[in-house]
């Protein structure tokens, strides 16, 4: 069974890494406009411009004018919200606090990544580990996942009686493969939890597991349809992805260390 991704801080912070810079260093400072006596900082406009450029927009006079008008409209709406007392609403205040936290977190992560870059040697080492994990063979597999061992044993009995694997797969509790006759496609054992991967490597072509394979997901009956030599992707193809993963792991470790040292009551 494929490994499930965990909702961890690494993923959340990984998304933060890719966001545009918090504030632009270029451009003028001072006041962009004054709306009903309230000044809009040019620094805010610079930050807005940086976000637009990060999304592919060109720095043009038209864009700057559009940003100016947008910030004026926003300030007008903020003023109206305050007149209605919405800034005193606890739910609104809580949302504002969350947004404020996100900004500081983003700024911190970007600064940390800038000061602690992932080296070429680290990425190359990660690539070598990936190749080792993938192995030299990939497999074309089908599987049936059930809750109880007795159900898996019954499936094996029916297979021995001549039942088609694809038909029996309709009872699988894996929705991703159930409607495809249990088909998992071509993949390496690195994509699976260890008991599943170990069972695959012990199978011959065209054979299925005659003993249920237990994992945290339930009990599996696995069919090996074919195998072939595995050609790993070229380093340049996965270099950026590996670098981002290492950055995420780096940030996750930092957060774990901070959490371990923190005094929480």
Main-chain dihedrals φ then ψ at residue 3, nearest 5 degrees: -65, 140
* Residue 38 DSSP SS3: strand
Q: What are phi and psi of 240, to 5 degrees?
A: -65, -45
pLDDT of the residue at 231: 86
**pLDDT for the residue 5:** 36
Q: What is the pLDDT of residue 6?
A: 39
**Residue 97 CB burial class (10 angstroms; 0-12, 13-18, ≥19):** exposed
pLDDT at 235: 94
- In tens digits, the chain (265 residues) has pLDDT values of 544 333 334 334 444 444 444 444 455 679 999 999 999 999 999 989 998 998 999 999 999 999 999 999 999 999 999 999 999 999 999 999 999 999 999 999 999 999 999 999 999 999 999 888 888 899 999 999 999 999 999 999 999 999 999 999 999 999 999 999 999 999 998 889 999 999 999 999 999 999 999 999 999 999 999 999 998 889 999 999 999 999 999 999 999 999 999 999 9
Dihedral angle of Cα 5, 8, 14, 20, to the nearest 10 degrees: 120
Q: Residue 54: its pLDDT value, please? A: 87
Q: Which whole-number Å values give the CA distances from 32 to 61, 165, 228, 243, in the listed order? A: 14, 69, 63, 39
pLDDT, residue 239, reads 95
């Amino acid at each position: 069974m494929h490994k499930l991704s965990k909702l961890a801080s690494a993923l959340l912070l990984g998304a933060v890494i890719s966001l545009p810079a918090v504030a632009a260093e270029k451009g003028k400072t001072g006041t962009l406009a004054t709306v009903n006596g309230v000044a809009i900082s040019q620094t805010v406009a610079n930050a807005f411009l940086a976000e637009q450029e990060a999304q592919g927009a060109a720095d043009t006079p038209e864009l700057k004018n559009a940003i100016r008008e947008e910030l004026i409209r926003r300030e007008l709406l903020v003023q109206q919200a305050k007149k209605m007392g919405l800034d005193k609403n606890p739910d609104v205040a809580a949302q504002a606090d969350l947004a404020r936290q996100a900004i500081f977190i983003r700024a911190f992560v970007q600064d940390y990544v800038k000061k602690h870059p992932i080296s070429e040697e680290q990425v190359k080492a990660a690539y070598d580990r990936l190749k080792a994990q993938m192995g030299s063979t990939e497999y074309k597999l089908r599987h049936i996942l059930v809750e109880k061992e007795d159900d898996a044993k019954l499936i094996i009995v029916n297979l021995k009686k001549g039942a088609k694997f694809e038909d029996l797969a309709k009872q699988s509790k894996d929705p991703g493969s159930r409607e495809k006759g249990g088909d998992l496609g071509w993949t390496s054992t690195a994509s699976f939890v260890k008991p599943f991967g170990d069972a695959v490597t012990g199978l011959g072509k065209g054979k299925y597991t005659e003993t249920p394979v237990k994992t945290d997901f339930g009990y599996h009956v696995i069919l090996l349809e074919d195998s072939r030599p595995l050609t790993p992707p070229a380093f340049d193809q996965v270099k950026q992805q590996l670098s981002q993963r290492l950055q995420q792991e780096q940030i996750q470790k930092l957060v774990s260390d901070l959490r371990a040292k923190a005094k929480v009551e």
